[in-house]
Each structure stands twice: as structure tokens, then as C-alpha cells.
């Protein structure tokens, strides 16, 4: 058997550069997902064979730079420095070279074996642009391969290059990127001083010198433990003062300007557009969507359309699923004899799980619409549209991306805040994210709106709820930035990818994955919760009530089914669930909630889908024979509730803790027990205050 050799490759690149698509092309199905050691940043690995070599590929987090401001940047930099991959494959968006190549020059400073991949090359050709690859390689001093992850163009050549560089079949190129003569002299001076250090001698001297000039806190902390520090420190301070004096800017910004100048000069020699004067389609669309007056109203209009579609299109398949569960309930009721098993199955499982799955069409439509906005490139532009407003809050447009992600799920939205470099910005953004209503809350809104509002205004009410959450989120961010985090935000830097036609396969794959996660939750967490809720709502029983209905059943044998439901309804307040709900009534009574809604809210701490599941189970115990389709009607006909109650309940669900998983993620991402307690307390207090105001105000208006 031939001796198989291993090549350790790290994949690095900006967000939106197509790095993950390139990874999928290379690794295929041979992928393993986990976390980098000691942090919550996701780690994706793959391994495969090519020309007798085993290529072990690690997909580093997408990052714009290698300065240690965000967890992603630190993880990517530390992995390259300390894990020592054989090669770094730098995926670059070929349609946005000037922005992407900043990371390339920083990778060159690390003195790693570098292979540059110009991805999306098919789009470059569509734009009538030509890139002189040979001259590009000559100027940057790095092997360069044009590819398209969409069409698979260049993937084979990329694999061949990885093996050929490792085997020595082709010569390693030497980087041509240098700074100005004055800066190079500064770098040389510090390099000589740190050359005899005793700490981390394996790290590149030149890179350490550059980082010292940039005042990198990690590198300073590292060298402070070395014997050379006494000589290095005064030299570093002198050089930084010299740069500030002659260039009138901070040294790290000045070095970034030098990198950008080098990139611009190189691109002038290598990139040529035969239609440079012609306005591109992307520019024409941006003239409208990024218009300073029309931009924000257009975004709100698109969101309004999404919520209208969610309600109106989802209504038809929702009725089909309702009918399906109604038939199942009737069929099982006819064949299973009266027993605890029958009650658990019909009143617990069917009412609970069925009451959640019935909203799957609405969830799918919402997720599909958001996926389309992301894939086309519009979602990135929303950050620019909202940037001016966000600056008034104390943040910037980049903070709005995690908030928008919260419309899908709060957990990844909290994780998306990692891209913000400033800790104050990160926590302020994470405190606002829960108020951007996640998809799991949609079933609750659907039930309540169907119960208390006419079909013609259902979409408007839903849009209003989501908009109210956005407003509270932005106010919360402003409050945090005005009190706990008064420091200035970082400059807003984010590229605008060109508009792209979304891949139908990719869209349906993403939506299908989210649907499966929803279904799996219904079949595991919600199933278990439904059974627990049934037991909590059934036991213990009041013996006097039971004896009373036993006597009635003997006297009226024809009405046994009706009497069973009446007994269950009368027994419910004596159950564990009923007692918990009644214990909380003094706190929630001013909001219009009774003990039954309290039970639903408590159970909703586990997952918001369980709110509907709980209400379905409670009403099945009471008087709806386990039919999930009758929940809205049961609420509508219940004299204890009114449209004012429904509005207040939706506001509370919108604003209080999204789920326990989000609390755990917030704790990890903030790395602060104090802020985790504030997060939980703040959402509960805000939910109570606004639910109170809405209920009392709506009641005064006669709702």
C-alpha cells in the first residue's frame, strides 16, 4: 500500500467571500463540526485524498483582519501562529479585491505558505473585467488560482497546486509586499532588538515588530515576559511617536493605509474593466435601495410584505395540517378505550405536538423569505440603510446584522455579535437582540391574532408586533450605550457584495434544514414537555370533585364524555400546573393574564413553541377533545380573555426571555455572570411594563 502523506491546510478569508462554498467543494461530505478549543467559535474540518496525499482542511472563521479585536479574528490568527498549518489558502472575492486583499497582506506578514484563491471568477468575467493572473502573482509574490465555487471552475487546479507546493513540484513564491522605506527601517530596527528573545522564538520576528508598532496588546504582553523588553519598549515608543509626528495618525491606521496603497497600486496594473464607464446593474439597484430617503421605507415595505405572505400563504397549508391532526385524533379516539394512555396520547401528545406542527408552513415561509434577502446581498445593505439611525443610538449599521438575524433565531443572532470589535457594542447589541422576534414566537402570534382579530388585519397586526419589538430593541441599545457603555463605537467597515441570483437549491436546502430542526424539536423537547404538562395539569386530583362527577356519571350515562371534560376542567386548578399558575396571578393579573396563561409563559422559558403546545394541552384537558384546530376558537369564546388580553400576551411573549438556550449562549458570549443576570432580569421587567401599558391602554379603549 502506498505511503499516504498529510497536508494540513487552513482556509482563511473575509465574510461573504465564498470561503465556505470553496470548503464544501473541496471537502464534500467529509466534514466534522465542533468548536475551537476554549471558545464558542465554530470549527469546521474536512479531510480527503488527492494524488496520494491526505489533505486535512480547517475552515477558519470569516474575518476582515487579523487584529485581535473580535473572537473570530483572534481564533484565526492564533490558529495560524500556533497550529502551524502547512499552507494557508486565502479565499478572496474577486469582485471586491481592494477590500479582501487587506487580509491577504496581513497573512503575508505572518510569513506563512500562502495560496491565493480568486473566487467568484465567473462573475468577474460577466462584468467584462480581466485580471492579469501572471502579473498579479508577480506583484504579490503568491501563487494565485482563479476559481468559481458555484460552477466548480478551477477547483481541480486548486487541489493540484496544494499538492505541488507541498511536494516541491512548483517553487514557493516570495512575497513582494513591503511598506515605505521609512516604515521598513522602523520594522528592521525592532526586528533586530527582538531577535534574541527567550519567549516564543518560533514566531516571525518581522511580524512581531509590525505588531509592536501597531501597539498590539497580545504581542506586548508576550514580549513583556522576555529579557529583550527593556530594549524593545523605548524603541517601540520612539517609533510610534515618530509615525504620529510625521503622518498625523495612529501607527496602526498608518500601516493599514500603506497596505491599502500597495493594494490599489497593484490592482491598477492587474485589473482592467472594458466597460469601466458603464454603470453596473448592482450600482443601478443600489441607487434606489440605498437612497438616503427611500432606503429605510423600502426596507420596511419589504418586511411588511414578508409578514403578509407569512400569514396569507401559510393559512391554507395550516388548515390542511389541522384537518390531518383532527382526523388522527378522531381515529385514535374511536379505537383506544378510555384510559390514562388515551388521555395522554390525545390530550397531551396530539394536542401539544400537533398544536406546534400546525404552524410549520408559516415558519417555512418566514425562513425562506429571510434566506432570499440574505442570498441576494440585500441583507448586507440593510446595515448601510440603518447606519445613520444606529449612530444616533451609539452603535453603527454593522450591529443591525445580528439584530436582523434574530428574526430567524436568537441563538445564532447572539453569536453573530462576535464580529463587533468593541465589547460595549457587543453587549449592547446582544441586549437588544431578544426583542427582534424569533421564528419560534410566530405560532403564538398566529393563534392569538386568529382568536381576537379579523383575517383582513391579521398581517398588519403581525407586522406591528415585529415593528414594536424592533423599536424596543433599538431603545434598549440606546439605553445601554448611554449608561453602561459610553465609549465610542468602532468605525463601520463592511463591503457590499454584488447582487446575486439566489440558488433555488441552496434556498430550499437551508429552509428544509430549518424545517427539520423545527420538526425535530416538536418530536423531542416539545413532545416531552407536552407529556409533562399533561401530568402537571392532571394531577393531583381533588377527591370531592371526582366523587361528585362519579355520581353524575352514574345518573347520566349518556353524557359521560361531556362530564369527563367538565371534570377535567374543574380539576385543573387543583393540579400542580394550576397551583403554579395561581401562585403567579398576583403578579400577572394587572396584565390581564390568568393562571392558564401563566402556565404557558412559564413553560415557554424552555422554548417559545411550547407556549402554544401548553395552551393546546390545557384546552384539550378542558373542553376541546384534543383538537388543535379549535385552540383559537376556544380562546375567542373564553369570557376570561379579550383582544386587550391577546395584545398584552403577545407583547409579553415578544419581550421576555427568548429561551433558556439563549441565556446560556448570552452567558458564554458575554463571559459575564453579572450581565447574564441583567439580561434575564431586564427582559422580564421590560415585558411586564409594556404588557401592563398595552393591556390597560387597550382596555380603556374598549378592546
Looking at per-residue confidence, does 118 or 274 come out higher? 118
Total Cβ atoms within 10 A of residue 171: 9
Q: How confident is the model at residue 525 (pLDDT cuts 50, 70, 90)?
A: low
Average pLDDT, the chain: 80
| Structure confidence by residue, pLDDT tens digits, 400-456 | 777 877 777 777 677 767 767 677 888 888 899 899 888 778 888 888 998 888 888
Whose CA is closest to 6, among 152, 114, 238, 162?
162
Q: How confident is the model at residue 589 (pLDDT cuts 50, 70, 90)?
A: very high
Considering the segment(s) 5-167 as one domain, its CATH architecture is 3-Layer(aba) Sandwich (3.40)
Q: What are phi and psi of 529, to 5 degrees?
A: -65, -40
Whose CA is closest to 112, among 45, 19, 206?
206
For the residues 32-51, what does the mean pLDDT come to? Answer: 63
pLDDT at residue 275, as a whole number: 54
The pLDDT of residue 493 is above 60: no
Q: Which three cell numbers stand for residue 28?
A: 464534500
Partners of residue 271 on adjacent β-strands: 131
Q: How many residues does the chain have?
A: 703
| Structure confidence by residue, pLDDT tens digits, 496-516 | 666 777 767 767 776 777 677
Is the Cβ–Cβ distance between 515 and 447 less than 8 Å? no
Looking at per-residue confidence, does 9 or 364 come out higher? 9
What is the number of alpha carbons within 13 Å of residue 26 lying toward its C-beta?
A: 33
Residue with the three cell numbers 477558519: 60
pLDDT at residue 150, as a whole number: 83
Residue with the three cell numbers 495560524: 80
Q: In CATH, what number does 181-273 get?
A: 1.10.287.1770
For the residues 571-587, what does the mean pLDDT come to? Answer: 84
pLDDT at residue 628, as a whole number: 39
Q: How confident is the model at residue 523 (pLDDT cuts 50, 70, 90)?
A: low
pLDDT above 90 coverage of the chain, percent:
11
- Full strand arrangement of the beta sheet holding 114-119: 31-35, 42-50, 53-59, 5-13, 87-93, 114-119, 143-146
pTM for the full model? Answer: 0.56
pLDDT at residue 35, as a whole number: 44
Q: Which helix (H) or strand (E) holds 8?
A: strand 5-13
pLDDT at residue 624, as a whole number: 39
The pLDDT of residue 356 is above 80: no
| Structure confidence by residue, pLDDT tens digits, 398-414 | 777 778 777 777 776 77
Whose CA is closest to 643, among 450, 367, 395, 511?
450
Q: Which helix (H) or strand (E) holds 525?
A: helix 525-538
pLDDT at residue 530, as a whole number: 65
Is the Cβ–Cβ distance between 645 and 592 less than 8 Å? yes
Whose CA is closest to 590, among 448, 698, 691?
691
pLDDT at residue 522, as a whole number: 59
| Structure confidence by residue, pLDDT tens digits, 135-157 | 888 888 889 999 998 888 999 99
The domains of the chain are located at 5-167, 181-273, 298-490+512-539+575-700
Total Cβ atoms within 10 A of residue 174: 7
pLDDT at residue 626, as a whole number: 37
Please give the Cα distance from 34 to 46 (Å, whole number). Answer: 12
What is the number of alpha carbons within 13 Å of residue 217 lying toward its C-beta?
A: 3
Looking at per-residue confidence, does 483 or 278 come out higher? 483
For the residues 657-678, what does the mean pLDDT come to? Answer: 83
For the residues 41-64, what does the mean pLDDT come to? Answer: 83
Amino acid at each position: 500500500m502506498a505511503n499516504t502523506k498529510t497536508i494540513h491546510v487552513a482556509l482563511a478569508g473575509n465574510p461573504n467571500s465564498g470561503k465556505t462554498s470553496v470548503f464544501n467543494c473541496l471537502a464534500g461530505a467529509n466534514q466534522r463540526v465542533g468548536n475551537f478549543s476554549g471558545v464558542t467559535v465554530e470549527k469546521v474540518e474536512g479531510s480527503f485524498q488527492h494524488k496520494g496525499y491526505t489533505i486535512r482542511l480547517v475552515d477558519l472563521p470569516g474575518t476582515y483582519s487579523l487584529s485581535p479585536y473580535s473572537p473570530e479574528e483572534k481564533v484565526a490568527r492564533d490558529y495560524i501562529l500556533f497550529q502551524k498549518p502547512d499552507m494557508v489558502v486565502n479565499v478572496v472575492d474577486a469582485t471586491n479585491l481592494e477590500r479582501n486583499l487587506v487580509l491577504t497582506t496581513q497573512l503575508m506578514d505572518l510569513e506563512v505558505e500562502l495560496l491565493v484563491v480568486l473566487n467568484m471568477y465567473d462573475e468577474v468575467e460577466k462584468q467584462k473585467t480581466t485580471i492579469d493572473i501572471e502579473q498579479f502573482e508577480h506583484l504579490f509574490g503568491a501563487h494565485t488560482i482563479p476559481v468559481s465555487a458555484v460552477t466548480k471552475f478551477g477547483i481541480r487546479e486548486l487541489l493540484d497546486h496544494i499538492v505541488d507546493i507541498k511536494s516541491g513540484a512548483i517553487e514557493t513564491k516570495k512575497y513582494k509586499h513591503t511598506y515605505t522605506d521609512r516604515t521598513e527601517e522602523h520594522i528592521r530596527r525592532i526586528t533586530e532588538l527582538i531577535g534574541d528573545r527567550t519567549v516564543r522564538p518560533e514566531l516571525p520576528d518581522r511580524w512581531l515588530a509590525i505588531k509592536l508598532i501597531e501597539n498590539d496588546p497580545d504581542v506586548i504582553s508576550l514580549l513583556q515576559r522576555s529579557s529583550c523588553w527593556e530594549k524593545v519598549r523605548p524603541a517601540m515608543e520612539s517609533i510610534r511617536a515618530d509615525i504620529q509626528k510625521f503622518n498625523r495618525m495612529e501607527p496602526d491606521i498608518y500601516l493599514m493605509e500603506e497596505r491599502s496603497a500597495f493594494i490599489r497600486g497593484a490592482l491598477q496594473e492587474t485589473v482592467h474593466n472594458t466597460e469601466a464607464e458603464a454603470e453596473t446593474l448592482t450600482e443601478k439597484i443600489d441607487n434606489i435601495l440605498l437612497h438616503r430617503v427611500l432606503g429605510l421605507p423600502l426596507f420596511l415595505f419589504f418586511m411588511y410584505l414578508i409578514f403578509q405572505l407569512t400569514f396569507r400563504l401559510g393559512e391554507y397549508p395550516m388548515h390542511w395540517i389541522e384537518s390531518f391532526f383532527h382526523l388522527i385524533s378522531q381515529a385514535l379516539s374511536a379505537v383506544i378505550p378510555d384510559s390514562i394512555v388515551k388521555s395522554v396520547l390525545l390530550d397531551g401528545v396530539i394536542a401539544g405536538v400537533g398544536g406546534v406542527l400546525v404552524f410549520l408552513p408559516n415558519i417555512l415561509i418566514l425562513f425562506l423569505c429571510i434566506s432570499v434577502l440574505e442570498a441576494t446581498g440585500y441583507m448586507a445593505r440593510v446595515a448601510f440603510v440603518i447606519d445613520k439611525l444606529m449612530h444616533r443610538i451609539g452603535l453603527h449599521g454593522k450591529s443591525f446584522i445580528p439584530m436582523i438575524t434574530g428574526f430567524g433565531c436568537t441563538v445564532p443572532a447572539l453569536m453573530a455579535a462576535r464580529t463587533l470589535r468593541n465589547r460595549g457594542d457587543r453587549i449592547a447589541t446582544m441586549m437588544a437582540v431578544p426583542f427582534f422576534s424569533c421564528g419560534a414566537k410566530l405560532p403564538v402570534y398566529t393563534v392569538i391574532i386568529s382568536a381576537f382579530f379579523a383575517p383582513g388585519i391579521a398581517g398588519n397586526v403581525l407586522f406591528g408586533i415585529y415593528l414594536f419589538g424592533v423599536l424596543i430593541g433599538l431603545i434598549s441599545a440606546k439605553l445601554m450605550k448611554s449608561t453602561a457603555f459610553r465609549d465610542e463605537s468602532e468605525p463601520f467597515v463592511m463591503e457590499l457584495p454584488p447582487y446575486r441570483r439566489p440558488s433555488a437549491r441552496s434556498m430550499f436546502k437551508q429552509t428544509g434544514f430549518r424545517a427539520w430542526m423545527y420538526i425535530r424539536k416538536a418530536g423531542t423537547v416539545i413532545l416531552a414537555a407536552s407529556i409533562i404538562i399533561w401530568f402537571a395539569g392532571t394531577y393531583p386530583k381533588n377527591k370531592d370533585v371526582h366523587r361528585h362527577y362519579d355520581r353524575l356519571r352514574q345518573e347520566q350515562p349518556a353524557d359521560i364524555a361531556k362530564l369527563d371534560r367538565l371534570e377535567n376542567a374543574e380539576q385543573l386548578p387543583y393540579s400542580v400546573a394550576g397551583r403554579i399558575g395561581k401562585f403567579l396571578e398576583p403578579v400577572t393579573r394587572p396584565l390581564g393574564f390568568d393562571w392558564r396563561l401563566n402556565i404557558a409563559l412559564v413553560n415557554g422559558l424552555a422554548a417559545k413553541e411550547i407556549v402554544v403546545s401548553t395552551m393546546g394541552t390545557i384546552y384539550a384537558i378542558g373542553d376541546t377533545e384534543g383538537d388543535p384546530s379549535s385552540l383559537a376558537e376556544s380562546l375567542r369564546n373564553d369570557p376570561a380573555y379579550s383582544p386587550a388580553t391577546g395584545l398584552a400576551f403577545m407583547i409579553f411573549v415578544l419581550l421576555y426571555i427568548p429561551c433558556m438556550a439563549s441565556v446560556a449562549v448570552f452567558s458564554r458570549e458575554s463571559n459575564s455572570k453579572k450581565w447574564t443576570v441583567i439580561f434575564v432580569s431586564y427582559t422580564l421587567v421590560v415585558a411586564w411594563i409594556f404588557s401592563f401599558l398595552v393591556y390597560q391602554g387597550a382596555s380603556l379603549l374598549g378592546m
